[in-house]
Amino acid sequence: MHRFRLTLLNTYTGLFLLYMLAPLAVMSGAAFNDNKLPSIVPWKGWTTRWFIEMIEDERMMIAFANTLWVAAAVALISVVIGTAAAILINSVSGRLRTALYGMMISTILIPGVVIGISTMILWTKMGNALGTEFFLFRAGLHLSVLGQVSYIAAMVMLLVLARLQSFDPGLEEAALDLGASHAQVMRRILLPHLYPAIGAGAAVAFFQSIENFNVTQFTRGGADTLTVYVFSKVRSGITPTINALAFLLICVTLVLAVIYEANRRRRVRIEAARLDEARRAEEEMAELIGRG
């Protein structure tokens, strides 16, 4: 029975990985197929010309640069808002906590189309009411940033809030009793504990922004992002240059993931070594006390 369960688990895991990775493998293979259609069938031979055409496609490069700019801005603002919201919600209780939590979470449940249209209408109407032509009140990538932050910040908040559940409030009280200011407690005790969640939240916000389409489509003005560019190419005809760019993004993501995992394991080894050293010192101290 145990062997059957193990076989079933391994089979499920293999099928799950195949389901997740097979589309990426097919998409990456199309980047090297000498075929004008983004497909691996029929295979017409290896080529790297799609990478060259990708670099020469000025509109795609501008869209890609805009996408990175928007994603970086969304990640930065979402981390600040999401972390602050998590700390605030964790510090209150009762109905106020429920109300704040529900208000933040509700944005995740709203369709992206609604958020995009609402963001555009809100800021343009504000500009008309104030009688100003300031760029902040016109459609553009800055409105895409604000629209995406309105719900991506809630995702960051959930990650930070989960990390806060393992934080010992007694550390804050001890630091305050020893004369530390609230700013020092935040900077030296609370934030270091939250750094893993903040880093994960920044990564989630960055990649959520890159793949966003609905909000960006209604707020971008005349600017292009990668998803909007791909959507426009669907009507005129997609070429494997999209696959070439996607392949490079996958490679960069894998490299970053490997670096993160290697750094995580290094920190675990250092922490384990410190614990072993502290344990040995404690044992030596106990032995000396026993002899005395």
34-74 confidence digits (pLDDT tens): 888 888 888 888 999 999 999 998 989 999 999 999 999 99
Which of 238, 254, 275 is the C-terminal boundary of a domain?
A: 238
CATH code assigned at 131: 1.10.3720.10
What range defines the domain where residue 265 resides? 239-292
Is residue 248 predicted with pLDDT exceeding 80? yes
Higher pLDDT, 284 or 108: 108
pLDDT of residue 249: 87
Helix H, strand E, coil C: the string for 180-203 is CCHHHHHHHHHHHHHHHHHHHHHH
Burial 95-115 (b: 16+ CB within 10 A, else e): eeeeeebeebeeeeeeebeeb
In this structure, the dihedral spanned by the alpha carbons of residues 203, 205, 208 and 211, taken in order and rounded to 10 degrees, is -80
Reported confidence tier of residue 208, pLDDT bands at 50, 70, 90: very high
- Compute the average pLDDT of residues 219-242: 85
Q: Taking 70 as the threshold, does the pLDDT of residue 29 lie above it?
A: yes
180 belongs to a structural domain: yes
Could you tell me if residue 215 is inside a domain?
yes
41 lies in some domain:
no
**Residue 157 confidence class, pLDDT cut points 50, 70, 90:** very high
CA 59 to chain centre: 25
Residue written as token pair 């392949």: 247
Residues 144 and 255 both lie in one domain: no
Q: What is the mean pLDDT of residues 219-245?
A: 86
Q: Is residue 172 part of a domain?
A: yes
Structure tokens at 173: 């009280």
Residues 156 and 282 in one domain: no
The CA–CA distances, whole Å, from 82 to 42, 108, 163 equal 48, 13, 13
pLDDT, position 292 = 61
Rounded to the nearest integer, the mean pLDDT of the chain is 87
Q: Is residue 288 in a domain?
A: yes
Q: Has residue 35 been placed in a domain?
A: no
Burial label, 193 (beta-carbon count in 10 A; 0-12, 13-18, 19+): middle
User: Is 51 inside any structural domain?
Assistant: no
Whether pLDDT at 79 is above 70? yes
**Is the predicted pLDDT of residue 86 greater than 90, yes or no?**
yes
Residues 88 and 119 in one domain: yes
What total of structural domains would you count in the chain? 2
Q: What would the mean pLDDT of 182-186 be, rounded to a whole number?
A: 85
Final residue of a domain: which of 194, 210, 238? 238
Checking if the pLDDT of 81 tops 90, the result is yes
70 and 215 in a common domain? yes
Does 194 lie in the same domain as 78? yes
Q: Are residues 244 and 233 part of one domain?
A: no
- Prediction pTM value: 0.83
Mark which of 198, 214, 238 sits at the end of a domain: 238
Is 43 part of a structural domain of the chain? no
Q: Are residues 190 and 174 in the same domain?
A: yes
What pLDDT shows up at residue 246? 87
Examine the domain organization and report whether 154 and 269 are in the same domain: no
Both 243 and 224 in one domain: the answer is no
Long-range Cβ contacts of 225-232 (<8 Å, 24+ apart): 225/63, 225/66, 225/67, 225/70, 225/141, 225/144, 226/60, 226/63, 226/64, 226/66, 226/67, 227/67, 228/63, 229/59, 229/60, 229/63
- What span, in angstroms and rounded, lies between the C-alpha atoms of 197 and 160? 5
First to last CA, the chain: 57
Whether 187 and 281 share a structural domain: no
Same domain, 230 and 245: no
The answer on 66 and 170 residing in a single domain is yes
Question: Does the pLDDT value for residue 84 go beyond 90?
Answer: yes
